[in-house]
Amino acid sequence: MGWLLLLGQSAYCQTSYPERALKLVVPFPATGSPDIYGTQRTTKLVKVMQALSPPSLTDNVAMEVAQSLATLLGQPVDFDRHPRGKTVAGTRHAALARPDGHTLLFAGNPTITIFPSLYRRLPFDPRRDLVPVAALARLPIVLITASDDPARTVRQVIERARFIPGQVNYAAVGDGSTSHLAGELFRSTVGIEIVNVNYNGSNSAINAVVTRNVEFGFVPLAGVLPFVEGGKVRVIAVASAQRHPAVPKVPTIDESGLPDFEASGWFGVFAPARTSAAIVSLLNYEINRVLAEEALQRSLHRQGLVPAPGTAEEFRALIDTDSARWGRLVKTAIINRYTGASGNGK
C-alpha cells in the first residue's frame, strides 16, 4: 500500500479538491438494491414503511463508506437519492454532473455491466459517460435448497435436473439481475434444462425455495443469511471465486466440480467522465483507506458482502470482464431462449 500513499499525496499536491461538500448519488430506493429486494410499486403505504424501516443493505454500505470518506476528506458526503427507473435515472443524473469530483455515483454491477446488453436504449453509456473510481464490496450469489430437500451437493442438483429435464425450476431475484444471470450461467455451463422463475425480491425467492414451490434458487447471500440462521435454508454452494466468512464450510461451485465458475455482484463508486485523473486517484486512495478499517470489514462480512479494495485500473478490468461475460449470456442464453432458440446460441 506504500505506492498508494505516494499516489494520494501526489493527488493532494495537484488539486485543492475537495472545496465543498460531496454528493453521493444513490440510485436505489430506501428498500435497497433491486438485485436483493426487488422493485416495489410505490404507494403512500410503501413510503411510510420505508421511512420507519431500518437502513437497507445498499444504504448501509453507502452510508458507512460516505461517513468514513467524509472524515478523511474533511468535507461532508451527502446522499442524493434518485431511485426511479431501476437505477437508470440516478445513473444518468450522475453522468450529467460536472466532472469536478464533487458528484459521485454509488452503483451496482447490473447497471454498469448488464443493462447495456439487456436494454437497447439506455440514456447513458457506462464506458463513455462514467469513470470507475473504486470497487467497494462484492455481493456473493449462492445456490440454495430447502433444508429438508434431498439434494445436498451441486452434483445432486445437477443429477435431478438431468433425470427430469425441463421439470426443475429455480428461483431468482428479478429479470436480468445478477441472481438471474447466475442461474442462466449455471444452466448453460452444465448443459441442463431448468426453468427460471423470477421473484420480486430475495424474500419471495427464498420463500419459494423453503416452501418447495421451486427446487432450488440462486440468490444473494445477503438476503439468505437470516433464513440460514433460522434453519430453513441449506446453502449448497457459493457462486463466487472464494468462500465467504459467514458460511466458511460452504464450498464454491468451482470446488464442487464446475471449474472457473464465478458469478457475483458488486458495488462501487464512479465519477462523471472527464473527471481529472488526480481526483480519481485521490478518491481511490481514500476509499481504500476506508475499506482497510477493521470495523467496516466486519460490518460488510456480517451483511454477506466481501470488501473489494484495489486500484481504479483493477476496477475497470473487473467491469470489462463482467461486461463481456454477461453480454455474451444476455445475447445467447437469455435472449435466444426467450425467443425460442437454443440456449447455447447454436
Q: Is the pLDDT of residue 72 over 70?
A: yes
Residue with cell 429455480: 170
Cα–Cα distance for residue pair 263/183, rounded to 1 Å: 9
CATH code, 2-139+265-329? 3.40.190.150
**140-263: CATH superfamily:** Periplasmic binding protein-like II (3.40.190.10)
- Residue 99, CB-side half-sphere exposure with 13 Å CA sphere: 15
User: Distance between CA atoms of 110 and 178, rounded to whole angstroms?
Assistant: 7
Residues 6 or more apart whose CB falls under 8 angstroms from that of 150 comprise 156
Report the residue count for the chain. Answer: 346
**pLDDT value, residue 13:** 44
Contact predicate 172/179, CB 8 Å: yes
Rounded to 5 degrees, φ, ψ at 173 are: -110, 90
Q: Which cell goes with 293?
A: 478499517
Contacts for 293 with CB less than 8 Å, ≥ 6 apart: 68
Average of per-residue pLDDT values in the chain: 88
- Spacing of C-alpha 101 from chain mean position: 24
Identify the band that residue 251 occupies on the pLDDT scale cut at 50, 70 and 90: very high
Listed in order, the ranges of the chain carrying CATH 3.40.190.10 are 140-263
pLDDT at 52 over 50: no
- Whether omega for the bond prior to residue 307 falls within 30 degrees of 0, making it cis, is no
Looking at the chain, the whole-number percentage of residues with pLDDT higher than 90 is 75
CATH 3.40.190.150 intervals, the chain: 2-139+265-329
- The pTM for the full model equals 0.87
Give the whole-angstrom CA distance, residue 323 versus residue 242.
21
